[in-house]
């Protein structure tokens, strides 16, 4: 195993999660110090990167949460899953970004290719000024695992995450314009509740 590439990945992941509150050089320095400490006492090197990753995460959490001038907690990772309606997932993701700002890192799970468009939801999102993007959630490493996975329809809960939520939204296909407006209201209420649960301060007033 090439440990150098593993440590490079660990540093990059930590910088992605804590870069809004800490300097990149500071994060790299924390990892380097913890790595040196573990390597000095390890008899088997195979699992050292895992231990370094965990220890560095705990150390950075402590820095961010306890230092007086550092009042911002780490960026919260959220994955939004709606395999049967790409637009629905992207609307929720856009609302989370709108209200959570840099305090959240939001992505949607790749949907079935045949379920890509929902013109009515896309139109309502446009009227609210929401920008829909296709950032896809692909967790490969521990630090990429979302703090919360939100399921928007009935499906297997098979996405890696630290916690889970399922929103019972009812049937979406074929809804009217009035129902779409009501749906947007319900989605935003749920989004604001999620941010409160994650301890993320809302940036702006409600959209709907």
**Mean pLDDT, range 127-146, rounded to an integer:** 68
Statement: residue 105 has pLDDT above 90: no
Q: In this structure, is residue 176 part of a structural domain?
A: yes
The CA distances from residue 139 to 77, 107, 116, 145, 196, in Å, are 11, 11, 22, 6, 24
Statement: residue 71 has pLDDT above 70: no
Q: In this structure, is residue 207 part of a structural domain?
A: no
Which segment of 40-54, 84-98, 133-147 scores lowest on mean pLDDT?
133-147
204, two tokens: 């702006």
Phi-psi region of 199 (alpha: psi -120 to 50; beta: other; left: phi over 0): left
| Strand runs labelled E in 3-93 | 76-81
CA-nearest of 194, 154, 192 to 172 is 154
What stretch of H or E contains 125? helix 119-127
Tell me: do 33 and 89 sit in the same domain.
no
Quote the domain boundaries for residue 42. 3-66
pLDDT digit string (tens) for 81-101? Answer: 887 888 899 999 999 999 998
114, two tokens: 């045949």
Tell me: do 177 and 83 sit in the same domain.
yes
Tell me: do 111 and 53 sit in the same domain.
no
Binning pLDDT at 50, 70 and 90, where does residue 134 land?
low
Full-model pTM: 0.63
DSSP code of 175? -
């Amino acid at each position: 195993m090439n440990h150098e590439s593993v440590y490079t990945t660990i540093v990059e992941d930590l910088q992605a999660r804590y870069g809004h509150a800490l300097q990149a050089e500071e994060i790299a320095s924390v990892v380097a110090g913890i790595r040196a400490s573990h390597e000095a006492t390890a008899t088997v090197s195979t699992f050292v990167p895992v231990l370094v990753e965990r220890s560095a995460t705990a150390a950075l959490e402590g820095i961010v949460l306890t230092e007086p001038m550092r009042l911002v907690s780490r960026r919260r990772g959220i994955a939004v899953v709606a395999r049967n309606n790409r637009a629905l997932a992207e609307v929720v993701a856009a609302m989370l970004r709108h209200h959570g700002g840099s305090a959240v890192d939001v992505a949607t799970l790749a949907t079935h290719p045949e379920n890509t468009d929902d013109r009515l939801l896309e139109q309502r999102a446009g009227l609210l000024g929401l920008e829909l993007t296709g950032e896809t959630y692909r967790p490969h490493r521990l630090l990429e695992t979302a703090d919360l996975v939100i399921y928007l329809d009935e499906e297997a809960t098979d996405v890696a995450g630290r916690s889970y939520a399922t929103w019972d939204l009812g049937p979406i296909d074929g809804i009217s314009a009035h129902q779409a407006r009501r749906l947007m209201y319900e989605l935003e209420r749920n989004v604001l509740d999620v941010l409160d649960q994650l301890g993320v301060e809302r940036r702006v007033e409600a959209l709907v």
